[in-house]
Chains A and B, each alone.
Chain A
Amino acid sequence: MRDKVKHLALSLSTFIVAAAVWEIAVASGRFPHALLPDLRTVTEKFFALVGSGILIWTTLGTILRLLIGFLIGGVVGVVAGLLMGRYRWVEDFLLPAVSIGYPIPALAYAPLFVLWFGLGNTPSVLLVAVASAFQITINTWKGVTAVKPIWLRSAEAMGASEKKIFYSVVLPASLPYTMTGLRLGLGAAWRVLVGVEMITAVANGLGSLIFAAKQFLQTDVMLSGIIIIGLIGYLLEKYVFSAIERATVVRWGMVRL
């Protein structure tokens, strides 16, 4: 019991200290109220924004953009990765281009995409796709090349067709890597999306919401947006992928979680 109380107190300590520092800074009066609102104002604003539906719509817009972009990036990445892993000439053909494209931060393309596709949804979704595709390609490719040759040979020796080998050996054996790639890709997509939304000024987006709030010195709106952004990031990391992994690779006994 005492240990539990101590644990709880320690866990909460950083939040309590941060809240105290915040309130002291507010009380000191050194910052204008609009710039540094007290915590109660922020909480009230947060619930007001949720209640009026604004925050819910912007959140939906952001999640939709993330999912569509990630879907495009995922399909391109997995297909490219599988082909590169399976066929030597595809690997030789694509690898230099992939290794040059991979380290370029997707955000560097943002102004270019805005020129091509205008402001709004198209460049945002495409940039999310670009940001995730490279991670997914590289990991899927590594996964296919890491399939144990003995599995391939035994499947061949037992007379499995090319198609059968692909679906029953290569695909499941490379899946742990592909999953890692998808997870990293989703993370990359998420990290880039908020910034992209600021640049492309999309209509319903958390990034554009907090960027617009800056113009009106609405720190409370910005913080409300950041809270939701943190929440989405947390849920993505904590639930979405570990659930998929449990359902596939962990269940097949390929990796332990």
Chain B
Amino acid sequence: MSIAALVSGRTLRGAAGLLTFIALWEIFARSGIFPRSLTPSIVSIAISTYYLVIDGDIFLHILFTFGRVIVGLAIACAIGVPLGFAMGRSKTVATIFEPALSVLMPIPSLAWIPLFILFLGLGNVTTILVVVYAAVFPMLYNVWRGVQTVNPVWLRAGLSMGSSPRTMFWRIVLPASLPFIITGLRTAYGRAWMAVIGGELLAGTDWGLGRLIFEAKEWLSTGVMMGTIAIIGLIALLTERVIFEMIDRRTVVRWGMVRASE
């Protein structure tokens, strides 16, 4: 980006917007509506965040939270993707699983936390299970819909040219339903973050960003809490921008199936 573009009106107004919010926060923080210890100033938030980073523990917290998201997402994909394909390709499989799906899907993953705690105790297993529950339905549902919307002309063309079921799957069904699968993965990723924070708040033991926020609350360290929230936002934004836009570019955009969003 050139310097001219950087100082263009757009960027300036964006920066002004952010600065306004920061200024509003600062006024609110100093107003005394809440006790000062509950509304730290920007400087003390920055200092808390700096110590979090310098201390190094934050990276372990991030690693644990991120690890739970990835493991949960992987398990959700391992269940959701094959089942979604099976449901999309076979009417019988769809009839079997659709009722269970419509019963389980509307239950928020967080509602299961107390029950999981009772059976599995606090800690990793419960948290990851909550993430799996949150992520599996968007994955499954989107794969299923994606397979259903594969253009039947393509399927017939493939069949009449004598493709084996394997070729049909790899060359037609999979690429054609990929935009839906990626949408599913994106939604699942967002829900997984929400679930992991909830799981760590309610069932966490020692490591994790949710746990960090929860423990900071006990010590009234609002600076640490807000710093951690900012870090969560930063990670979520970066992963969304970097990972998913790369996946989009490498697959569906390159194949000309959707146009790149600017």
Interface on A for B, CB 8 Å cutoff?
Answer: 7, 10-15, 18, 35, 89, 92-97, 99-101, 103-112, 114-116, 190-195, 198-199, 206-207, 210-211, 213-214, 217, 219, 222-223, 225-226, 229-234, 236-237
Contacts and interface: CB of A to CB of B under 8 A. Distances in A.
B10 A92 contact: yes
Contacts of A103: 190, 193, 233, 236-237, 240
Nearest to A7: B95
Given A15-B100, A210-B115, A237-B106, 19 more contacts: A35-B119, A93-B14, A96-B15, A105-B193, A107-B110, A107-B197, A107-B201, A109-B229, A111-B214, A192-B194, A194-B108, A199-B202, A210-B111, A211-B202, A222-B115, A226-B107, A226-B112, A230-B103, A230-B106
Contacts of A110: 201
B236 A14 contact: no
Given A35-B119, A92-B9, A116-B34, A104 B229 contact: yes
B164 interface: no
A96 B201 CA distance: 28
B222 A115 contact: yes
B17 A195 contact: no
A99 B21 CA distance: 13
A217 B98 CA distance: 32
B115 A108 contact: no
B106 A94 contact: no
B220 interface: yes
Contact of B220 (A96, A106, A115): A115
A104 to B, nearest CB: 4
Nearest first, the 5 A-B pairs at minimum CB distance are: A233-B106, A195-B110, A103-B236, A92-B13, A93-B17
The prevalent SS among residues of B at the interface is helix
The prevalent SS among residues of A at the interface is helix
A236 B106 contact: yes
Interface centre among A7, A190, A194, A225 (most CB of B within 10 A): A194
Contacts of A101: 233
B229 to A, nearest CB: 5
B117 interface: yes
Nearest to A105: B194
B206 to A, nearest CB: 17
B108 A116 contact: no
Given A103-B233, A103-B237, A10 B95 contact: yes
A194 B110 contact: yes
B100 A111 contact: no
B194 A107 contact: yes
10 contacts: A10-B96, A101-B233, A105-B198, A107-B197, A114-B217, A198-B114, A211-B113, A211-B114, A233-B107, A234-B103
B202 A11 contact: no
Contacts of B39: 116
Contact of A226 (B111, B194, B201, B209): B111
Interface string B105-134: 111111111110111000000000000001
B106 A93 contact: no
B225 interface: yes
Interface residues of B, number: 64
Nearest to B110: A195
B97 interface: yes
A36 B240 CA distance: 41
Contacts of B21: 97
B121 to A, nearest CB: 12
Contacts of B109: 191
B12 to A, nearest CB: 8
A92 B12 CA distance: 8
Contacts of B98: 11
A115 B39 CA distance: 10
A217 B99 contact: no
Contacts of B209: 108
Interface in B150-195: 190-191, 193-194
B20 interface: yes
Nearest to B225: A112
A222 B117 CA distance: 12
Contact of B237 (A89, A100, A111, A194): A100
B16 interface: yes
Nearest to B234: A100
A19 to B, nearest CB: 12
